[in-house]
C-alpha cells in the first residue's frame, strides 16, 4: 500500500480535493472480478477487508460514496450494510450506468465535477467521462486507464479501494489525523 501521496501531480490532487462523493463499481474494483458459483447456482464474491476499512474511514471523515454495478447480487447489499453504505446509494443491474448516475445527481444535488468514479472496464467509461475525477484500478482495461485522471498502483479487489480512499483523505487533509486516531 502506498503510504505517501505527496508525489502525485497537483492536477490529480486538485481533482481529489474537489471530490465530495466517490462512486465504486463492484466487480473488478471492490472484488478481483472473479465470480464463483455453487452447485445450487448461488453466486459468491470475495471482498477485500482493507478496502472495506478504507471505505469506513472515508465515510467517517465526511466524504460520501455510492455503488453502481452492472450485476445484481444480494451479496452487494450485505456488504453495503456491513459498511454502513445507505441503500439509496446503491444501484445494481445497470449495465448502462448513466441512468444510475443521473439518479445519483438528482438525489444528491451534487455537480458531476464534485464526484469521483472508480472503474475497471469499458462499461464504466460513460460515467467516468462525466465526473470530475475518473479513477482506474491498476489492472483495469488499457482503454479505461487511458481515459482516467489517475490509476491506482494496486489492483481491483486487492487494495485499490483502500488506495483510493486514503488518497482522497490525503487530498482533503484528513488522512494523517485519521491514521493517528488509531494510536490513541
Cβ proximity of 152 and 137 under 8 Å: yes
Q: Is residue 97 a known part of a binding site? A: yes
What φ, ψ does residue 112 adopt, rounded to 5°?
-55, -35
pTM for this model (two decimals): 0.94
Tell me the C-alpha distance between 178 and 170, whole Å. Answer: 10
Q: Is residue 51 a known part of a binding site? A: no
Q: Is residue 71 a known part of a binding site? A: yes
pLDDT digit string, tens, across residues 119-171:
999 999 999 999 999 999 999 999 999 999 999 999 999 999 999 999 999 99
pLDDT digit string, tens, across residues 17-62:
999 999 999 999 999 988 888 898 888 889 999 999 999 999 999 9
Q: Is residue 120 a known part of a binding site? A: yes
Domains and their CATH numbers in the chain: 16-183 (3.40.50.1000)
Q: How far is CA 75 from CA 24, 57, 92, 129, 176, in A?
A: 15, 21, 11, 28, 32
Amino acid at each position: 500500500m502506498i503510504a505517501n501521496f505527496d508525489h502525485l501531480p497537483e492536477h490529480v490532487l486538485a481533482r481529489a480535493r474537489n471530490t465530495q462523493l466517490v462512486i465504486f463499481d463492484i466487480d473488478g474494483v471492490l472484488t478481483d472480478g472473479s465470480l464463483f458459483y455453487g452447485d445450487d447456482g448461488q453466486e459468491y464474491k470475495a471482498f477485500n477487508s482493507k478496502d472495506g476499512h478504507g471505505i469506513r474511514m472515508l465515510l467517517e471523515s465526511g466524504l460520501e460514496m455510492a455503488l453502481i454495478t452492472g450485476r445484481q447480487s444480494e451479496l452487494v447489499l450485505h456488504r453495503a450494510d456491513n459498511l454502513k453504505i445507505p441503500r439509496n446509494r446503491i444501484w445494481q443491474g445497470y449495465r448502462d450506468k448513466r441512468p444510475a448516475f443521473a439518479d445519483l445527481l438528482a438525489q444528491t444535488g451534487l455537480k458531476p465535477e464534485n464526484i469521483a468514479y472508480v472503474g475497471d472496464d469499458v462499461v464504466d467509461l460513460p460515467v467516468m467521462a462525466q465526473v470530475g475525477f475518473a479513477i482506474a484500478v491498476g489492472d483495469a482495461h488499457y482503454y479505461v486507464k487511458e481515459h482516467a485522471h489517475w490509476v491506482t498502483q494496486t489492483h481491483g479487489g486487492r487494495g485499490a479501494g483502500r488506495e483510493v480512499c486514503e488518497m482522497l483523505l490525503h487530498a482533503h487533509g484528513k488522512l494523517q489525523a485519521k491514521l493517528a486516531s488509531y494510536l490513541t
